[in-house]
Amino acid sequence: MSGWRLGIFLPVLLALGSCAWLTSSPDSAANNVRLRGTDPVGYFTAGIAMPGRMELAAEHDGATYRFANETNRRLFIASPERYIPQFDGYCANRMVYAQPVAGGTDAFKIIGGRLYLFSSRSEKQYFEMDQDRNLRLATYYWNTEVRDSTRWFQSLKRQVFRVPHYKSSEDLAAEYQRRLAGKSG
């Protein structure tokens, strides 16, 4: 470990390590509303991000989910694990690098009957370049490093100490463009 990284990392670690507020999830707000109020069942039934209604809500594991209609609310209550986003709603592509970045509500994909969110459409495209590998890596880092971590600490740690296969957004964009060029020629 280089001295300058350690010199930056340790004081920040000590300052942030005991702050309970740093363990919040991606879209914490009043009443811990998840998915920014988007109906989680709508991704499966309509194939789109549907805004939920405040009066149609259900709780699961301390989080509030909203629904576009009563049918979706009932489906969720009957089987919430089927509909909640994987990686606690964090971007699946950033999870490949053990970086908890909030997923958006419009860039998503259902893989193997599970909902995966992405922080942008480009992050989704990058994930799809090697979906099987990326899904394995994201699941590995979620289970071994991110799930029970303090999110801010985890993010900082992986900004300073990158995973061995790390690619920046610029690297991923260039790779995506090369692949597109290869398909058109």
Q: What is the pLDDT of residue 183?
A: 78
Last residue of a domain, one of 63, 81, 99: 81
The 8-class DSSP code of residue 143 comes to I
* Residues 95 and 67 occupy one common structural domain: no
pLDDT averaged per 10 residues, the chain (length 185): 52 43 42 93 97 97 97 98 97 98 97 98 98 98 97 96 96 94 73
The count of structural domains within the chain is 2
Angle at 169 between CA 164 and CA 171, to 5 degrees: 65
Q: Answer whether residue 42 is part of any domain.
A: yes
* Residues 169 and 102 occupy one common structural domain: yes
Q: What is the pLDDT of residue 180?
A: 86
Helix (H) or strand (E) holding 9: helix 3-16
- Domain of residue 156 covers 85-176
Question: How far apart are alpha carbons 64 and 31 in whole angstroms?
Answer: 7
* Residues 76 and 141 occupy one common structural domain: no
Distance of alpha carbon 58 from the chain centroid: 21
Q: Answer whether residue 21 is part of any domain.
A: no
Ranges of H-type helices in the chain = 3-16, 42-45, 70-78, 80-83, 92-95, 121-128, 131-141, 151-160, 169-184
Question: How far apart are alpha carbons 129 and 107 in whole angstroms?
Answer: 15
* Residues 96 and 76 occupy one common structural domain: no
Is 184 strand, coil or helix? helix
Distance of alpha carbon 41 from the chain centroid: 17
* Residues 34 and 76 occupy one common structural domain: yes
* Residues 89 and 172 occupy one common structural domain: yes
Beta-sheet pairing, 114-117 with 108-111: antiparallel
Q: What is the pLDDT of residue 182?
A: 80
Q: Answer whether residue 13 is part of any domain.
A: no
Strand partners, 33: 64
Q: What is the pLDDT of residue 2?
A: 53
Q: What is the pLDDT of residue 181?
A: 85
Q: What is the pLDDT of residue 122?
A: 97
* Residues 151 and 116 occupy one common structural domain: yes
